[in-house]
Amino acid sequence: MFYRRAGIRHTRYQDERQLFPLRFDRGLILVVLALLLAAPFLFDRLYVSGYLLPWLIWTSAALGLNLLMGWAGQIHLGYGAVMGIGAYGSVHLVRFGVPLEIAMIVGGLLSAGIGTVFGAAALRMKGIYLAMATLAMQYVVDFVISHSSAISGGTLATLQVPPVRFLGIPLAGEVPTYYLALAVCFVVTLFMLNVRRTSFGRALAALREKDYAAQILGISTFRYKLLAFWVSSFIGGAVGAVLAVTYLRAISPDQFHIELSIQILAMIIVGGLGSVLGPFFGTALILFAPILLNNLLGFGANAFGVEMPIDLRAHLPLVAYGALVIGFLLYEPLGLAKIYANFRNYLLVWPFRHAQR
């Protein structure tokens, strides 16, 4: 219906290889992009800095993890630690007076380096052993950060982010920070969209499906797994820096604990492993479902006099995460992205359902 394929005939190879062959998709993306660009002027600033900003940052992080888990098929339970390394590295550099642009990249490189060192040990194993090794990495990094006061920043264990400029624009107030997060999210998304079409992305997909077969095809599994770890950790570190500078403003070790890793894992499971669109949906659901639920309960308590015990309300976000992860794994393992794809496929051929491929 909306997604019309009629009249689209490719006469050149470039046309067929383009990211969005359907005109409607292109239009939709432009509309969404325009909305996001105009958001600071359209919506209340509370919504922009409280909802849209974290959504963009967490989505970028989830995209980075999705490269490793969805594309390369390697499990990583310590992504929060990776982000923490990037955040601490770059904030320290910024405090030393290094420009933010460079600090972000160095933070990313630091994460990539440390993440790959831990990964290299685990890369010789797979499956549950990799899961254990990355879980152990999370705990070790947490310990090192919180126990060396040189890193975590003295007795209070919080590190203030000084006022910074990005490309000459001071990052103060919610509008510039929002645009920085949007730009980073845009770059990461563009990278993820295009990585599928490169030899690197195809090698990762081959690796995910069967690593012996990939090896027989001449793909060095060790090299590509290491590369996947490297790239994903780099994105994680850079996004961690953005998170620290734009959203947290003052970082402390407990912000990068295992809870963050689990949150991002839940986002890509709910959104859809191996999809670019998925993390956008998954992040929205995981970030906003608890808030929505809480508001709903508050409303219920007001309207119907149904009072929830305070402990239950406090633990509801965890229950909601867990239930969402379990539910999606059991009923729609490919996540919200698959639900959207089903809907789109239905509309593509509507009303000729039998033509569905």
Partner 1 sequence: MDWILLAELSANGVFVGLMYALVSLGIVLIYKTSGIANLAQGAVAMTGGYVAWALGARAGLPIWLAVPAALAGMFVFGLLMERLALRRMIGQPIIMTIMLTLGVEIMLRGLLPGIFGASVKRLDIGIPQDPLFLGDLLINRATLIGGSISLALIVLSLLFFNSRFGVVMRAVADDQTASWSVGIRVERAVGVAWGLSAVAATAAGVLWGSNQGVDWSLSLLLIKALAIAILGGLDSIPGVLVAGVIVGVAESLATGVLDPLVGGGSRDVVAAVIILVTLLLKPHGLFGRHHIERV
Counting contacts by CB under 8 A, is residue 326 touching partner 1?
Answer: yes
Determine contact, residues 76/232, Cβ cutoff 8 Å: yes
Residue written as token pair 């407990």:
254
Pick the binder of partner 1 from 6, 46, 128, 150 (CB under 8 A): 128
Q: Which region, judged by CB under 8 A, interacts with partner 1, from 19-27, 94-102, 139-147, 195-203? A: 139-147
Residues 270-309: x/- map of binding to partner 1 (CB under 8 A)?
Answer: ---x-----------------------------------x
> Closer to partner 1 at the Cβ: 39 or 286?
286
Nearest distance from residue 312's CB to partner 1, in Å?
A: 4
> Closer to partner 1 at the Cβ: 101 or 209?
209
Q: Rounded to whole angstroms, how far apart are CA atoms 36 and 200? A: 30
Residues 153-192: x/- map of binding to partner 1 (CB under 8 A)?
Answer: ----------------------------------------
Interacting residues with partner 1 between 203 and 262 (CB under 8 A): 211, 221-222, 225, 262
Q: Rounded to whole angstroms, how far apart are CA atoms 213 and 237? A: 32
Nearest distance from residue 253's CB to partner 1, in Å?
A: 11
Pick the binder of partner 1 from 322, 342, 343, 350 (CB under 8 A): 322
Identify the bridge partners of residue 169 per DSSP, sorted by sequence position.
166
Counting contacts by CB under 8 A, is residue 20 touching partner 1?
Answer: no
> Closer to partner 1 at the Cβ: 44 or 209?
209
Residue partners of 168: CB distance under 8 A and separation at least 6: none
User: Which positions touch partner 1 (CB under 8 A)?
Assistant: 69, 73, 75, 77, 118, 121-129, 131-133, 135-140, 143, 146-147, 211, 221-222, 225, 262, 265-266, 269, 273, 309, 311-326, 329-330, 333
